[in-house]
Each structure stands twice: as structure tokens, then as C-alpha cells.
């Protein structure tokens, strides 16, 4: 396990490994399927087990398994997962609503039913790598979703190519939220937050009202030094999704910097209440 894994994986790294959008990851975290730790800037940091649970929850959710049953499956899976990836790798499979872990050389059985997911996890020079037994065929005319997945796979090795893929997706589908979120985050990570702000402000009139887009717009504004505008964007995100705990936390922090202590206290209190309620809901679901 390398240093990155020891410190925990960032949201961006999880996106690259799993090929799913930031919005999907945020939704799974808010649903209580995983409980990542926090980094120095309050960003999510995911352990190896969190990454496995995220991938499993995402696949089960796409298969329309009810949240209560997903939580039960994840609790069972969590108890079966090692804390770190074995040198031999492992395989996670689901049949019906049962999830099982298999390492090389061990036996694995599951009840009969429809296969929902099947993927392997291995290590490539200390980095997690996911292997799907059946890969989607590449087409000569990629869809916007294909281009977003391509961009996510290129971000670490070829950020210029990743940016081009996201922009190509937006040329075809200017309101494709996943492409907007991924491109905006990539621009900010490369120190181009002003461009990210322009991207979001151009996209906002075109997309269906989206809390994640407003939230990421707020992050870009904050990184660009536009604190008052960032506070307004966080507030808009909360209008669309009052349960967005991270927006309350970031807004509280901004109000502290803007010398609004009462507003800061209100948002920090809301953040703590939401985290407490989400934890209680997860306990109830698991009961």
C-alpha cells in the first residue's frame, strides 16, 4: 500500500478508479453507505474499505436494490473486507441480494439468482485497479457518458487529454452535469479556478437546477477568492438540497471569514445536526 492509500484517497482519485461521477459519490456518502474521514480542508478521504463499499453500493443502486437492503449488504461486506488490498487481489460478486468476497485460492459460494455485479480489484505499482470481467465495446462514435469515463481515466496520466474529453462531451451535451462537474474540478485542481467559475456560470442557465453544480461553483468561487459570491452559491445549493451537510460546513467557515459569527454558528449547528441524523438513520437501517 503506497503513501496515498495510507493518507486516504481523495474524491478525485476515487472518481478515477471507479469511473463514476463526483455527484454519484456525494449521493452515496449522503445516503450513509460509506463514512469517509476528513482531510485538512474538510475534504473527504476514503480508505481502501470505503472505495470497495462505494463501488459495491453504486452497482447495487444501479440494479435498483432498495436502500435498506443495500445497507444490509454493505454491513456484511464490510465485515468480510481486509483493511488493505491483499497482494493477490480480491473479487467481489453479487448474486441476488447477497454480496461475497473471494481471494485467490479461497472457495466462494452464493445462492442462485440474477448476477448484479462482478469485479476484481488488484494492485498496479501500489495503486488500486478495478477489472470488470466484461468490458463495454468501444464505439467509433462515443456518447457523452463514454467521453466522461474516458476523461476520468486520463486525469492522472494525461490531464490535457482528460480536459479535451470533457469538453467534447459538453459540445454534444452542454447540460451534461457529470461533464460539467468533472471539468470544473479538474480546472480548479490545475490552478485555473477562474476558468472553472466561467464554466459553471455558463452552464447554470442550461442545466436543470442542481445542488452539486452550485456547490462546486461555490468551491471554485472560494478558491478564486470571491468569498461573498461563494457564500451565495453555497446558499443556493442548500435551497436545492437542504441535506447537503458539506455546504453547511463550508458556508459556516466562510461566514467566519466574513465576520458573520451568528450565521457561522447557525450553519455549523445545521452541519452537526445533519451528520448526527444521518448516523442515526444508518443505525436504524441496519437494525
Model pLDDT for residues 177-190, shown as the tens digit of each residue? 989 999 998 998 88
- Using a pLDDT cut of 70, give the percent of the chain over it: 70
Judge whether 3-131 and 144-286 match in fold.
no
Which of 6, 51, 16, 10 lies closest to 33 in space, CA to CA? 51
Of residues 82 and 103, more confidence is placed in 82
According to DSSP, the residues that pair with 90 across neighbouring strands are 103, 121
Contacts of 106 (CB under 8 A, 6+ apart): none
Contacts of 22 (CB under 8 A, 6+ apart): 11, 12, 15, 178, 181, 182, 185, 212, 216
Q: Options 2.60.40.10, 1.10.1660.10, 3.40.50.1980, 1.10.10.10; which CATH number does 3-131 get?
A: 1.10.1660.10
The yes-or-no verdict on residue 245 having pLDDT over 70 is yes
Of residues 259 and 85, more confidence is placed in 259
Which pLDDT does position 162 carry in this prediction? 85
Q: Are 130 and 20 in contact (CB under 8 A)?
A: no
What cell numbers appear for 196 in the block?
Answer: 472553472
Spans of all domains in the chain: 3-131, 144-286
The yes-or-no verdict on residue 232 having pLDDT over 90 is yes
Which pLDDT does position 4 carry in this prediction? 45
Sheet holding 90-95, edge to edge: 98-103, 90-95, 115-124, 127-131
Q: Options 3.30.565.10, 3.40.50.720, 1.25.40.10, 3.40.640.10; which CATH number does 144-286 get?
A: 1.25.40.10
Q: Residue range 23-45: average pLDDT?
A: 79
Cα(17)–Cα(20) distance, rounded to whole angstroms?
A: 8
Which pLDDT does position 56 carry in this prediction? 76
The yes-or-no verdict on residue 235 having pLDDT over 90 is yes
Q: Which of 60-69, 152-161, 167-176, 227-236 has the lowest mean pLDDT?
A: 60-69
- Arithmetic mean of pLDDT over the chain: 76
Q: Residue range 128-134: average pLDDT?
A: 51
Contacts by residues 77-81 (CB-CB < 8 Å, ≥ 24 positions apart): 77/52, 77/53, 77/101, 78/49, 78/53, 81/48, 81/49, 81/52, 81/53
The structure's pTM equals 0.58
Amino acid at each position: 500500500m503506497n503513501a496515498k492509500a495510507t493518507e486516504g484517497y481523495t474524491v478525485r482519485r476515487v472518481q478515477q478508479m471507479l469511473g463514476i461521477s463526483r455527484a454519484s459519490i456525494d449521493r452515496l456518502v449522503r445516503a450513509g453507505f460509506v463514512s469517509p474521514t476528513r482531510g485538512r480542508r474538510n475534504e473527504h478521504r476514503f480508505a481502501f474499505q470505503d472505495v470497495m463499499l462505494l463501488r459495491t453500493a453504486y452497482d447495487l443502486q444501479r440494479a435498483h436494490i432498495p436502500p435498506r437492503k443495500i445497507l444490509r449488504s454493505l454491513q456484511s461486506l464490510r465485515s468480510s473486507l481486509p483493511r488493505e488490498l491483499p497482494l493477490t487481489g480480491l473479487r467481489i460478486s453479487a448474486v441476488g441480494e447477497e454480496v461475497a468476497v473471494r481471494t485467490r485460492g479461497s472457495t466462494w459460494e452464493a445462492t442462485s439468482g440474477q448476477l448484479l455485479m462482478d469485479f476484481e480489484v488488484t494492485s498496479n505499482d501500489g495503486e488500486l485497479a478495478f477489472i470488470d470481467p466484461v468490458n463495454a465495446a468501444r464505439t467509433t462514435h462515443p456518447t457523452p457518458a463514454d467521453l466522461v469515463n474516458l476523461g476520468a481515466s486520463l486525469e492522472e496520466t494525461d490531464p490535457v487529454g482528460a480536459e479535451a474529453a470533457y469538453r467534447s462531451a459538453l459540445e454534444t451535451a452542454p447540460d451534461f452535469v457529470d461533464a460539467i462537474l468533472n471539468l470544473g474540478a479538474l480546472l480548479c485542481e490545475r490552478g485555473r479556478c477562474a476558468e472553472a467559475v466561467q464554466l459553471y456560470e455558463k452552464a447554470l442557465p442550461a442545466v436543470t437546477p442542481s445542488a452539486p453544480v452550485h456547490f462546486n461553483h461555490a468551491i471554485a468561487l472560494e478558491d478564486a477568492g470571491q468569498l461573498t459570491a461563494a457564500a451565495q452559491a453555497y446558499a443556493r445549493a442548500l435551497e436545492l438540497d437542504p441535506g447537503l451537510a458539506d455546504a453547511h460546513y463550508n458556508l459556516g467557515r466562510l461566514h467566519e471569514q466574513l465576520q458573520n459569527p451568528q450565521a457561522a454558528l447557525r450553519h455549523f449547528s445545521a452541519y452537526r445536526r445533519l451528520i448526527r441524523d444521518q448516523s442515526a438513520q444508518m443505525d436504524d437501517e441496519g437494525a
